[in-house]
């Protein structure tokens, strides 16, 4: 089998599992081909070292990377066609001190290509209702890496906002949504979350999705945008709804401003499934008044 077919088979398996990332990792005399599925690593196959190196050279060639560079980090993009569907992929590679390379391929799905099966629909319905009825304010989701927070925000917005002008700012873009105007953070070009938010607000989006609030600049910009009359949706790394509140305060958001703009906070997790490709989601969603009561106990 040609190395191109080997690679396409690997991608097809990862897509069947609805994996978010594909890892090609050197281990002594072999390469492990792993993928990240529902908060855990699945091994797809093991290649001997020459095959693994050949696979990496093929990926670098398809991504228009420098094939001869084996130590410095490189990042690029590529498109893979599986059947009738095309998938955008972000590719990054780096070599260890021996010059043995590892590669990560991030699979970018379109919203119709991914779905979450819910334990119950209550949290999602509350989230959708807030997106549909509110013109301004701040909605936040939290959960572990890979819990599907961005997927949930995209689906909720698409289901409730037909005809509305939606913008996103992400680092990096995780889902290809043709109906949205999507901007990507680029630190090298000084395109930070804060800078891109200033640009986005000049476009007057009806809904603005911010991929993640991870620093003071972004937290301040998000709250100021909500205060100025925009509907902002974003994610925060925290282990509960009250944890999100305390994290925002830690990032310098004033208590009174957060009380004024907050619409609701959701905590999402993915539950293990017998079938890896079928993600089972559990979203617990609280409106702002509930969150405030919890933090005041």
Helix 288-295 with 241-250: angle, nearest 10 deg: 80
Reduced to 3 states (helix: H, G, I; strand: E, B; else coil), residue 137 is: strand
pLDDT at residue number 189: 78
Q: For the chain, give the percent of residues with pLDDT over 70.
A: 97
CB neighbours (10 Å) of residue 66? 10
Q: CA nearest 267: which of 241, 291, 247?
A: 241
pLDDT band at 272 (very low <50, low <70, confident <90, very high): low
- What is the residue-averaged pLDDT of the chain? 90
Q: Rounded CA gap, 243 and 21, in Å?
A: 27
pLDDT at residue number 275: 59
Domains of the chain: 3-108 (3.30.450.90), 116-296 (3.40.50.300)
3-state secondary structure 93-141: EEECCCCCEEEEEEEEEEHHHCCCEECCCHHHHHHHHHHHHCCCEEEEE
pLDDT band at 176 (very low <50, low <70, confident <90, very high): confident
pLDDT at residue number 270: 78
Whether the per-residue pLDDT at 77 is higher than 90: the answer is: no
* More confident call, 277 vs 30: 30
Whether the per-residue pLDDT at 234 is higher than 70: the answer is: yes
Q: CA nearest 284: which of 122, 132, 173, 100?
A: 122
Positions of E strands within 237-289: 262-271, 280-287
pLDDT at residue number 273: 63
Name the pairing type of β-strands 166-170 and 207-210: parallel
Q: What is the pTM of this model?
A: 0.81
Whether the per-residue pLDDT at 38 is higher than 80: the answer is: no
Whether the per-residue pLDDT at 274 is higher than 60: the answer is: no
Residue with tokens 């395109």: 191
pLDDT in tens, 181-232: 999 888 777 788 888 999 999 999 999 999 999 999 999 999 999 999 999 9
Q: Is the peptide bond before 267 cis (omega within 30 degrees of 0)?
A: no
pLDDT at residue number 40: 79
pLDDT in tens, 83-96: 888 888 989 999 98
- DSSP-assigned letter for residue 84: T
pLDDT band at 18 (very low <50, low <70, confident <90, very high): confident
Q: Range with the lowest mean pLDDT among 71-75, 172-176, 234-238, 277-281?
A: 277-281
**Residues forming a β-bridge with 231:** 137, 207
Angle in degrees, CA 173, 233, 136, rounded to 5: 140
pLDDT at residue number 276: 56
Whether the per-residue pLDDT at 247 is higher than 80: the answer is: yes
* CA dihedral (82, 86, 87, 89) positive or negative: positive
* CA dihedral (141, 144, 147, 150) positive or negative: positive
Q: For the chain, give the percent of residues with pLDDT over 90.
A: 63
Residues 178-188: b if buried by 16+ CB within 10 A, e if exposed: eebebbebeee
Q: Rounded CA gap, 32 and 191, in Å?
A: 35
Question: What is the distance in angstroms between the CA of the first residue and the CA of the last residue of the chain?
Answer: 63
| 4 Cα distance to chain centroid | 28
């Amino acid at each position: 089998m040609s190395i191109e077919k080997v690679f396409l088979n690997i991608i097809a398996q990862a897509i069947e599992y609805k994996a978010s990332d594909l890892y090609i990792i050197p281990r002594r005399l072999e390469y492990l081909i792993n993928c990240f599925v529902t908060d855990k690593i699945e091994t797809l196959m093991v290649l001997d070292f020459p095959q693994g190196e050949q696979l990496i050279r093929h990926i670098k060639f398809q991504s228009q990377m420098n094939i001869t560079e084996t130590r410095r980090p490189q990042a690029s993009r590529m498109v893979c066609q599986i059947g009738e569907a095309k998938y955008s992929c972000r590719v990054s590679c780096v070599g260890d001190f021996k010059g043995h390379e590892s590669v990560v391929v991030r699979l970018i799905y379109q919203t119709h290509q991914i779905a979450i099966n819910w334990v119950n629909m209550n949290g999602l319905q509350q989230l959708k209702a807030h997106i549909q009825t509110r013109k301004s304010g701040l909605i936040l989701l939290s959960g572990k890496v890979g819990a599907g927070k961005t997927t949930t925000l995209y689906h909720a917005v698409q289901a409730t906002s037909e005809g509305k002008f939606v913008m996103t700012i992400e680092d990096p873009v995780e889902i290809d949504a043709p109906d949205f105007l999507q901007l990507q953070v680029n630190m090298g070009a000084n395109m930070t979350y804060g800078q891109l938010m200033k640009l986005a607000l000049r476009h007057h989006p009806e809904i603005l999705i911010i991929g993640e609030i991870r620093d003071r600049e972004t937290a301040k910009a998000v709250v100021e945008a909500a205060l100025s009359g925009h509907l902002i949706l974003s994610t925060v790394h925290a282990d509960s709804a009250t944890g999100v509140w305390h994290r925002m305060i830690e990032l310098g958001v004033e208590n009174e401003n957060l009380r004024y703009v907050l619409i609701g906070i959701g905590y999402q997790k993915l539950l293990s499934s017998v079938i890896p490709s079928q993600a089972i989601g559990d979203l617990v969603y609280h409106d702002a008044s509930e969150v405030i009561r919890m933090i005041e106990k």
